[in-house]
Amino acid sequence: MQHFTLEQLNTAEARVKSGADFPNYMKELIDMGVIRIETFVVDGNTVFHGQGSYAVTAASKYPPLVIAETHNTQQFQADLKRHQRGETDFFTFCADCAKTGVNKWIIDVSEKTCTYFDLSSGAVLVESIPL
């Protein structure tokens, strides 16, 4: 069974400058054995899941954000596209998520999907990951 470390995860993340770098970052995580990633918008903490119950948590990345009570899917999709084109960094994207009511996202590596959720755990958007 393959176990990744926080140091390995941080090294891979350091190479990500914008959303445009995301596909290569995902390939690196897959090679490490990551099967699911859960990121919380409130402070950027992320839980990386491996096989079985193995998990590594990366600590908060910024001071807490306030998540909007209702989501604005149209604005979120516009913000997401900007981020994917490399126009925003991680914090800006998370601040945009908070403003548009996105509470967290979960990446399912085997399904090659990223699902964004609102405060009530309702799916705001499910997108395919280009791998």
Q: Does residue 114 fall inside a structural domain?
A: yes
Write the pLDDT tens digit of every residue in 9-58.
999 988 887 777 878 888 899 999 999 999 999 999 999 999 999 999 99
Q: How is residue 26 written in tokens?
A: 């995902």
How many domains does one find in the chain? 1
| CA distances for 26 relative to 13, 69, 86, 116, 130, angstroms | 10, 30, 16, 17, 9
Residue with tokens 């990744």: 4
Indicate if the pLDDT at residue 88 is higher than 90: no
Tell whether 1 is covered by a domain. no
- Which pTM value belongs to this model? 0.88
CATH code, domain with 88: 3.30.1810.10
Neighbours of 38 (CB within 10 A): 17
Q: Give me the domain span that covers residue 54.
A: 6-128
Where does the pLDDT of residue 1 fall: very low under 50, low under 70, confident under 90, or very high at 90 and above? low
Q: Is residue 19 part of a domain?
A: yes
- Taking only the tens place, the pLDDT of each residue in 64-81 is 999 999 999 999 999 999
**What is the C-alpha separation between 63 and 48, in angstroms, rounded?**
21
Residue 128 near residue 76, CB atoms below 8 Å: no
